[in-house]
Chain A
Amino acid sequence: MNRRSTIRRLFTRLPRWKRMLLAGLMLALVLGLALGLVPSLALLTGPTGDSTPPTAQAPSGGFAGLGRAADGFTQARPGQALRFPEDHGAHPGFRTEWWYLTANLHDEQGRPLGVQWTLFRQALAPPAAQQDAKDAVGTTNPWASNQLWMAHAAVSRDEAHVVAERLSRGSPKGLAGPAGVRAMPFAAWIDDWQLTGALSETLSKALPNTLASPLSSSTDALSQLSVSATLDETTRYRLTLTAEGPLVAHGEAGFSQKAADGQGSFYYSQPFYRAEGEVTLNGETHRVSGRAWLDREWSSQLLSEAQQGWDWLSLHLADGTKLMAFRLRGGAAGGGETQGDTGDYLSGSLISADGTLTPLGPTELSLTPIAERSVAGRRLPTRWRLEVPGQGLDLTISARHPNRWMTTQVPYWEGAVTVEGSDGRPRGEGYLEMTGY
């Protein structure tokens, strides 16, 4: 909590133009962190016109790395198979990556309670430059890392919304640092916050490591997890997660397109967790149980200049179906598949109870805000209409409470939602994330 006020104080001390610049940078970082789309550091690096494809897209010329120091990251592109358990770990060759867990829980009295645990990895410089830096300074320096780890945790119920943030730099190869992710046996951690696999090492080694098997079987390094975080002196949680279905790969076998011009990220999820454990919120301890959803995504590209942010949904429907949908606002104009004149880019996945995934393309769904609320000095849509005509879905999604603003270094909205059918009957629950407002 203190860190946040420090940051704010630092921020307010900056002169106005610096504040604007910093705000711009932070915004770019948020968008980049969460999406990994078209480079949008236009503010600093000069605008990338709509007609000009970003240099990273062009495999010609400077692919060897000369003259493209800022673009020395690996690009996500379709046709690359996911590999497990390796892909559960970090991909330092990509710019951004996250392990994103949200849980819709209920306490003994059945009252709803939301929990979030997120670990972000951000490379401050491409791996090549990183290597140069290491060579220049010698490899004995354990601090020399261009990886930045950032974690967010939140517990919310009704009015209460406790948020905490941790930051750490990466650790050198072969040395365990305060933050990191290990694929085998699975562990993701920052300080004393951790998300660890409960499977023994031998068992997870015996597991098949091709894409096909974990996606159809429910036994994987991620199928038994335990997650914990201490947000402050009076708020903490510890949950065990048991997967009741397989991992699912979004988009084209794990390549999720994020803009009309074909850029995207690698994206898979485990949406079938049954969660159980204990949550202490402001000194009150509750036994909780419910459902959780883990997202894994990595990419190297930032938002394009025109894209301002996104709205993202993960829903547990009552019939066991899971639904993921996102809307990227602005940008990508000129593409034939965009919705209306706004240039928004929509995408989603409908996952049946047995793990069969149906990708939803930009024209196959619509996501419309229907009510706005004032939150943290901004106007945010807290009621949405989600239509998937091809599947006969017409859902109304409402935030359980509008006050779910994450007052982290990079602020955004993240909170639990309820789902209703067009007839007004409850159809399930889930999580909503809104950035760039």
Chain B
Amino acid sequence: MTERGAPRLVPHLAMARTALVTLLSHYRRHPGQLAMLLVGLWVASALWSGVQAINASARDSYARAEALLSPSLERRDGAPLSYADFTTLRRAGLAVSPLVEGTIELNDGQRLNVLGIEPLSLPAGGIGEDRSAGNDGEDGANPLGLLQPPGQTRLAPETLATLNASPGERLVGAGGERLPPLVIDAQLPPGTLMMDITRAADLLERGPRIDTLLLAAGSQTALPAAYRPTPAAQGLSPGQLTESFHLNLTAMGLLALVVGLLIVHAALGLALEQRLGLLRTLRALGVPGRTLVGLLAIELVLLGLAGTLPGILAGLWLASVLLPDVAASLEALFSASVGASLSLPWHFWAGSLAITLGGLATAGLGMLWRTARLDILALGHAQPSRADGRRRYRRQAGLAALTWLAALGLWLWPTPAGTPSLIAGFAMVALALAGSALGLSVLLGAVLEGLKRGLPGNSPRTALIRWALADLQLQLPRLQLAMMALLLALATNLGVAGMVGGFRLTFLDWLDQRLVADLYLRPPPAAYDSWRDWLETRPEIATLLERRETDTRLIRAEGERPVALQGISPDPALTASWPLLATLNADRAAAWQSLREGAALINEQLAIATGLAPGDMLTLASPTGPFTTQVAGIYPDYGNPRGEVTLTVERLSQRFAAKPGSMGLVLTPGLAAADEAALRQRLTRPLPEAGEAPAPSLIDQRSLHRQARQVFERTFAVTRALTGLTLGVAALALFTGLLAQARERRARLAPLWALGLGRTTLLGVTLAQLGGLALATALLALPLGVALNWALVAEINVAAFGWRLPLHVFPAAWVQALGLAVLVALLAAALPAWRLWRAPPRQLLEEFSAS
């Protein structure tokens, strides 16, 4: 067998090689198509892997943060944990370890989290344990290092970089105290300093109090009756919020992938169609059909690798550019610290490669299928018949309608329990977008047909227009994928821009309403009363708005949930502009009056999470027992991940023993600039009446405004960058699509030229065709964009963040999108048109004879 098989195999291989070279030679003749394929793959994998890289490294940061805080204990009586609890539990044989956490200010004003651990009692598998391979061990993770004087301040390399410090250096706190020398520990989350509990308790002035008692995982010893495991936080936790953020990013990345694959699909379709003759010739020469399919599959893999690998590298670059913004947004929005440098596991690479190659396979499957079913005897360049085209349209229209129906169904159908509503929201949006993309060519075809039929008369001009429309109809199957890409990109751009813009408007409005005071003062707690008494006597200050905050638990029949509690001064200066979303009997004044009388206001997040409505009763845990009151109204609270209850500041200090907070100072109207400056000066110095207490911190409203605005600008910079990129990809799709068929276009236009039409006219017709098509697509994208915008603010936002935004529409953005679409189309058409313009008559004649 082998003796006979070997010589047979050689010509077989040789034939296959020749056939492969022949197939690939197509791209030498049409480098535009090759470029289009590679660019499509490159872009698709770049955007996808970029987004995935961002997600992966952000998640890694959370995992590191979470590892510091798993399973823990609390007292059943709700009293804070202290040294005595630690001792009691240790003596009972439980492997518990204490943790103190807090924030300190450095002497340069920078604020950092401080985590105090007790290295001797720490359960194995927690902090100080090496979880990631490749840790080079330069982190000094010896437990005694933390303990032995002068101790250690451990921090992530990222934190070290932001502090501009070097290992071994000693940071200095705001009060002049020296922290232990710095030591790098790559396992720590960014923005956290870890040190021995002794030093942390001193820095945070904790005394014997501790924040958390960690329990070794898998501890078998029974808990004493006075303790219980800390229940997981209910409702919207930062974890869920950041998950939402990542889901948003993933959805964007997926969209970019789809757009990129549409380009690939278009290019592959084109490459196959133009090689049908070649394929038939190869078959006629004796290349088996199976070999041909195999060769085309090899070609696909080669192209895929050539496009995907640089794509992933570009994605990494993109991620490293965007990551600092993402990190800053996440930190500001959700207090989730994310390292600003990429760290990627191996499966990231494999995953990105698999997704893009998988996408390529789905795009190329059609090509392989058609090759496998190739009829050798059919005509070389058979144009699809009208009947065929119509059947395909009908099928596509049916599919589009089905997808839309499914989207509608998802919207109307109640979300089945257990599925996150966010996933359902995204599925709905995805279905609607897919349905629209599928329906696009049907709609465009119908519009062209209608225009053609509606043209009156038979003037030469009308004839030319009719020809142009018919020609466009013929081009449509080839252009439809590029147009779909354009539609998706435009709709997404409009939708997201609408949401971001709307969010910005609403948020800034809300900020104006909430920040009514000119200055915000935070006196040291010990000197709070002295400062208040002093400020009340000042003539420069019209109103003093006190604010305190604390944490408590909302007690409900189905269980308890932690809520933030804030106390405000219900002064008209504040309440007049404070927005309320819902009140009892829609009476704002009455709601504020009942707040003064002891009722509560709740934020929208809490209302959505618990279903509490104005008029309902709510019960809060307080140091003196449960506190029950009525909900007087619901207020919007953008950007706050937590449920919040608002009471008067008096009630908060009396019933909930809230520590002194800040004071808003509304200045007397018409205060002279010099007086204001003098007051500011006065407010940054310690008060003589308050004895030793340090100076208060003063924030003016303008800088607060600026800070808040910065946070949100940064948050959406990433979103904007991604939509911009998607639009760019769509433009590229259109451009490469047109470029690829430029030569064919020339062959089609040559007869018209031969019939006596001027080149200027031909050029005008070409540009008008494409510009018109792009404009029609953009017009169709407008309603889709608005629908997407609505879905984002009313469905996805509520599911992801817990607040609903009013729908804002920005007609200027619409005009911009329309203009952009036409511009992109014209640009894409310009190069082929210019070639036509420059082509010598001889060449055009040649084309004519060739066709």
In angstroms, Cα B123 to Cα A5, docked, is 12
Complex interface: stretch among B55-63, B141-149, B799-807: B141-149
B87 touching A171, Cβ below 8 Å: yes
In angstroms, Cα B197 to Cα A124, docked, is 16
Asked if A88 is at the interface of the complex by the 8 Å CB criterion, the answer is no
Asked if A178 is at the interface of the complex by the 8 Å CB criterion, the answer is yes
Question: Given A141-B202, A143-B197, do A14 and B121 touch, yes or no (CB 8 Å)?
Answer: no
Asked if A168 is at the interface of the complex by the 8 Å CB criterion, the answer is yes
Asked if A15 is at the interface of the complex by the 8 Å CB criterion, the answer is yes
A230 touching B120, Cβ below 8 Å: no
The residue in chain A whose Cβ has the minimal distance to the Cβ of B84 is: A175
B130 touching A9, Cβ below 8 Å: yes
**1/0 per position for B89-124, CB-CB distance to A under 8 A?**
011110000000000000000000000001011011
B202 touching A138, Cβ below 8 Å: yes
In angstroms, Cα B221 to Cα A192, docked, is 11
A192 touching B91, Cβ below 8 Å: yes
In B67-91, the 8 Å CB interface with A consists of 83-84, 86-87, 90-91
B91 touching A178, Cβ below 8 Å: yes
Query: Which of B120, B128, B130, B198 is the one whose CB lies under 8 Å from A168?
Result: B120
Distance in Å from the Cβ of B142 to the closest Cβ of chain A? 6
The residue in chain A whose Cβ has the minimal distance to the Cβ of B202 is: A137
Distance in Å from the Cβ of B619 to the closest Cβ of chain A? 35
Contacts of B689 in A (CB 8 A): none
In B130-156, the 8 Å CB interface with A consists of 130, 135, 137-138, 141-143, 147-149
Query: Which of A10, A144, A167 is the one whose CB lies under 8 Å from B120?
Result: A167
Contacts of B123 in A (CB 8 A): 2
Query: Which of B86, B142, B197, B206 is the one whose CB lies under 8 Å from A10?
Result: B142
Contacts of B207 in A (CB 8 A): 140-142
In A11-36, the 8 Å CB interface with B consists of 13-15, 22
B208 touching A22, Cβ below 8 Å: no
The residue in chain B whose Cβ has the minimal distance to the Cβ of A5 is: B124
In angstroms, Cα B139 to Cα A13, docked, is 9
Question: Given A13-B130, A14-B142, A233-B220, do A167 and B93 touch, yes or no (CB 8 Å)?
Answer: no
In angstroms, Cα B125 to Cα A140, docked, is 31
**1/0 per position for B261-292, CB-CB distance to A under 8 A?**
00000000000000000000000000000000
Asked if A203 is at the interface of the complex by the 8 Å CB criterion, the answer is no
Question: Given A124-B147, A169-B120, do A178 and B90 touch, yes or no (CB 8 Å)?
Answer: yes
Contacts of B516 in A (CB 8 A): none
Point out which of B120, B129, B135, B216 has the most chain A C-beta atoms below 10 A from its C-beta: B120
Contacts of A243 in B (CB 8 A): none
B137 touching A13, Cβ below 8 Å: yes
Distance in Å from the Cβ of A342 to the closest Cβ of chain B? 33
The residue in chain A whose Cβ has the minimal distance to the Cβ of B142 is: A10
Question: Given A5-B124, A143-B197, do A191 and B91 touch, yes or no (CB 8 Å)?
Answer: yes
A143 touching B90, Cβ below 8 Å: no
Query: Which of A2, A125, A141, A148 is the one whose CB lies under 8 Å from B198?
Result: A141
B124 touching A169, Cβ below 8 Å: no
Asked if B201 is at the interface of the complex by the 8 Å CB criterion, the answer is yes
Q: How many A residues have CB within 8 A of the partner chain? A: 38
B83 touching A192, Cβ below 8 Å: no
Question: Given A124-B147, A125-B149, do A6 and B197 touch, yes or no (CB 8 Å)?
Answer: no
Distance in Å from the Cβ of B573 to the closest Cβ of chain A? 42
In angstroms, Cα B199 to Cα A169, docked, is 14
User: Total A-B residue pairs with C-beta atoms closer than 8 Å?
Assistant: 90
In angstroms, Cα B124 to Cα A7, docked, is 9
Contacts of B198 in A (CB 8 A): 137, 141, 143-145
Q: Chain B: interface secondary structure?
A: loop
Question: Given A124-B148, A138-B202, A141-B201, do A10 and B143 touch, yes or no (CB 8 Å)?
Answer: yes
In angstroms, Cα B122 to Cα A169, docked, is 12
Contacts of A191 in B (CB 8 A): 90-91, 93
In angstroms, Cα B91 to Cα A125, docked, is 26
Distance in Å from the Cβ of A143 to the closest Cβ of chain B? 4
B147 touching A169, Cβ below 8 Å: yes
Contacts of A9 in B (CB 8 A): 129-130
In angstroms, Cα B196 to Cα A124, docked, is 14
Distance in Å from the Cβ of A114 to the closest Cβ of chain B? 23
The residue in chain B whose Cβ has the minimal distance to the Cβ of A180 is: B87
In angstroms, Cα B138 to Cα A15, docked, is 7
Question: Given A14-B142, A22-B142, A141-B201, do A2 and B91 touch, yes or no (CB 8 Å)?
Answer: no
Asked if A421 is at the interface of the complex by the 8 Å CB criterion, the answer is no
Asked if A326 is at the interface of the complex by the 8 Å CB criterion, the answer is no
Asked if A177 is at the interface of the complex by the 8 Å CB criterion, the answer is yes
The residue in chain A whose Cβ has the minimal distance to the Cβ of B206 is: A141
A2 touching B125, Cβ below 8 Å: yes
**1/0 per position for A224-242, CB-CB distance to B under 8 A?**
0000001001000000000
B149 touching A133, Cβ below 8 Å: yes
**1/0 per position for B480-522, CB-CB distance to A under 8 A?**
0000000000000000000000000000000000000000000
Asked if A189 is at the interface of the complex by the 8 Å CB criterion, the answer is yes
The residue in chain B whose Cβ has the minimal distance to the Cβ of A190 is: B90
**1/0 per position for A396-419, CB-CB distance to B under 8 A?**
000000000000000000000000
Contacts of A137 in B (CB 8 A): 198, 202
Contacts of A144 in B (CB 8 A): 198, 202
Distance in Å from the Cβ of A368 to the closest Cβ of chain B? 37
A143 touching B118, Cβ below 8 Å: yes
B121 touching A15, Cβ below 8 Å: no
In angstroms, Cα B125 to Cα A3, docked, is 9
Query: Which of B87, B128, B201 is the one whose CB lies under 8 Å from A178?
Result: B87
Distance in Å from the Cβ of B678 to the closest Cβ of chain A? 38
Query: Which of B87, B92, B129 is the one whose CB lies under 8 Å from A176?
Result: B87
In angstroms, Cα B84 to Cα A177, docked, is 8
Distance in Å from the Cβ of B546 to the closest Cβ of chain A? 30
In B31-78, the 8 Å CB interface with A consists of none
A148 touching B202, Cβ below 8 Å: no
Distance in Å from the Cβ of B215 to the closest Cβ of chain A? 14
In angstroms, Cα B187 to Cα A13, docked, is 14
In angstroms, Cα B92 to Cα A140, docked, is 25
B91 touching A140, Cβ below 8 Å: no
Query: Which of A6, A177, A178, A189 is the one whose CB lies under 8 Å from B124?
Result: A6
In angstroms, Cα B220 to Cα A146, docked, is 31
Contacts of B86 in A (CB 8 A): 178
In angstroms, Cα B458 to Cα A403, docked, is 108
In A135-177, the 8 Å CB interface with B consists of 137-138, 140-146, 148, 167-169, 171, 175-177
A177 touching B87, Cβ below 8 Å: yes
The residue in chain A whose Cβ has the minimal distance to the Cβ of B197 is: A143
**1/0 per position for A47-63, CB-CB distance to B under 8 A?**
00000000000000000
Distance in Å from the Cβ of A66 to the closest Cβ of chain B? 19
B120 touching A6, Cβ below 8 Å: no
Distance in Å from the Cβ of A283 to the closest Cβ of chain B? 14
In angstroms, Cα B129 to Cα A13, docked, is 11
In angstroms, Cα B121 to Cα A171, docked, is 14
The residue in chain B whose Cβ has the minimal distance to the Cβ of A125 is: B149
Contacts of A176 in B (CB 8 A): 87
B208 touching A169, Cβ below 8 Å: no
Contacts of B118 in A (CB 8 A): 143, 169
Question: Given A178-B86, A191-B91, do A10 and B128 touch, yes or no (CB 8 Å)?
Answer: yes
Q: Which B residues lie at the A interface, using CB under 8 A? A: 83-84, 86-87, 90-93, 118, 120-121, 123-125, 128-130, 135, 137-138, 141-143, 147-149, 196-198, 201-202, 206-208, 216, 220
Contacts A2-B123, A15-B137, A146-B149 known; 4 new A-B pairs at CB < 8 A: A14-B137, A143-B83, A143-B197, A168-B90
Q: Which A residues lie at the B interface, using CB under 8 A? A: 2-3, 5-7, 9-10, 13-15, 22, 124-125, 129, 133, 137-138, 140-146, 148, 167-169, 171, 175-178, 189, 191-192, 230, 233
Question: What would 19 A/B residue contacts be, using CB atoms closer than 8 Å?
Answer: A2-B216, A3-B124, A5-B124, A6-B129, A9-B130, A124-B149, A141-B198, A143-B118, A143-B198, A144-B202, A145-B198, A148-B147, A167-B121, A168-B120, A169-B118, A169-B120, A171-B87, A189-B91, A191-B90
Closest 3 CB pairs of A and B: A192-B93, A13-B137, A2-B124
